[in-house]
Structure 1
Amino acid sequence: MATPETQRRIVVVSGGGTGIGRAVCAAFAAEGAEVVALGRRAEPLERTAKELTAEHAAAGGSVRALTADLTEPAEAERVRDDLRAAYGRVDVVVNNAGGNVLVGAPEGAADGLAGAAWHWTGNFRSNVLTAVLLTEALRDLLAAPGGRVVLLSSIAAYRGSGAGSYAGAKAALHPYMYDLAADLGPRGVTVNTVAPGYIAETEFFGPDGVADARRRMLVEQAMNRRAGAPADVAETVRWLASPAAGHVTGQIIQVNGGAEKGR
């Protein structure tokens, strides 16, 4: 028999410990959801879970940390088995895990054919496999009707990322989303993608952040002349996962302040 605890929405957020992922966890916890934050690093996950659970306790929301390397099929299966045993279903899956392996890479790491193979493979694993393996592992647990899947892409999928591999990896999520939306649509499950532009206050640009000159350039590309914030993305994800967006599926929503392609 279902208990009041299991009636709360079960929301799974990969890369949930920091940045955009943390903001997504906070947005759902504020609604009273049971959020499971996934990631490879235990320390930021556990800190986020503790802080957000305390912050949103009055709303009935909570965040639980679950460490996993979602580039590995066995780890995605372990997550699936854990969630099945704990909840029996999943209402929302937010595939936020990823990043550019070239950021902070040692000098020369991307040189030559071996370097090209390294960063193309690394960005595919980090940005595509993490989303595909988690989603495929959980697809049979998705609430039907009413389940929601959200993928996190990037403005780079439209205009490149300098070396190509990060942009190519994010672009690969788009046809996967279309196929998945068509497959899950008859079950009443929606699948959408959010493609952010420059988002400040994240770890994407490495421990030193983005240089001031580049930050000014990125802000100037936005029509509203400001940097994005993790909450901008989180609120878009939250809306896509809401009943109000029940007829929105197979869509890519850009969150970039109107930044022009290629500038």
Structure 2
Amino acid sequence: MTITGRREDVLAEAAALLGARHVAFDASDPAQVTKALTGLPEHVDVLVNNAGGNPAFDRKGDDLESVRAEWLANFEANVLTAVLTTTALTPRLADHARTVTIGSIAARQGSGSYGGAKAALEVWTATICRDLGPRGITANVVAPGLVEGTGFFRGTLTDQRRGTLIANTQTGRAGNLDDVAATVAFLASPEAGHITGQIVHVNGGAYLGR
């Protein structure tokens, strides 16, 4: 297993805990992705695109330049990271490999630039599942709702907002990391070979998929 990300110190710590290899690079930068290929596996059975976050938390104002910067930052962090990495690694994907991209409930709930970026990932996944399907390679999105135990909200999630998000679920609780990991693990398994081009919602029914 190889994990990637921008921050060498964080990656090294995580890799040590997991017993994994790590390669640090900015996946939104074509030059860095190309350079990173020398350290990435030559044979890929499972690719999980989990880079992202919400740069809108860093927005400085409501002027047009700030709005533009926010949208571009979210597109780079959430869309380009997945597109560039997957494109670069496509020749290394084994037949019957699995690709899983982490989306968000935000794609279905009008969540500004972040939701727009996650919605773009859903459309892109529909495209690559057609391109990769003849080789038996699947492409799916796992779209979580509120998941506790992450740094996503950067301390901005109030108790009131958290309560509202939980109240919107049918299960009466927030999601956790194991909920998401188990879904990804299933989609990466041999048993999921006929599931592709799908958005799998992991949100306790906060969004009722059709």
TM-score normalised over the length of structure 2: 0.95
Distance in 1 of aligned mates of 2:207 and 2:100? 24
Aligned to 2:18: 52
Task: Check conservation: 1:98, 1:130, Cα contact below 8 A.
Answer: yes
Aligned to 2:167: 220
Amino acid at match of 1:44: V
Unaligned runs of 5+ in 2: none
Cα distance per residue 1:200-221 (max 9 Å; x no partner):
1111101x25211111111111
1:102 offset after TM fit, Å? 1.6
What pairs up with 1:100-111 in 2 under 5 angstroms? 100-103=54-57, 105=58, 109-111=60-62
1:76 offset after TM fit, Å? 1.2
Aligned to 1:152: 102
What pairs up with 1:166-181 in 2 under 5 angstroms? 166-181=114-129
What pairs up with 1:18-167 in 2 under 5 angstroms? 35-53=1-19, 63-83=20-40, 87-103=41-57, 105=58, 109-144=60-95, 146-161=96-111, 164-167=112-115
Cα distance per residue 1:124-163 (max 9 Å; x no partner):
000000000000000010001x2111111100100121xx
Aligned to 1:256: 203
Distance in 1 of aligned mates of 2:207 and 2:18? 35
Distance in 2 of aligned mates of 1:219 and 1:202? 16
Aligned to 1:235: 182
Distance in 2 of aligned mates of 1:222 and 1:148? 29
Runs (4+) off by over 6 Å: none
Unaligned runs of 5+ in 1: 1-34, 54-62
1:194 to 139, 142, 147: 142
Amino acid at match of 1:70: A
Amino acid at match of 2:21: R
Task: Check conservation: 1:110, 1:119, Cα contact below 8 A.
Answer: no
1:82 offset after TM fit, Å? 2.0
Residue 65 of structure 1: SS of its match in structure 2?
strand
Residue 149 of structure 2: SS of its match in structure 1?
coil
Shift of the 173–260 alpha-carbon distance from structure 1 to 2, 3 Å rule, reads: closer
Amino acid at match of 1:168: G
1:260 offset after TM fit, Å? 3.8
The total of aligned residue pairs comes to 208
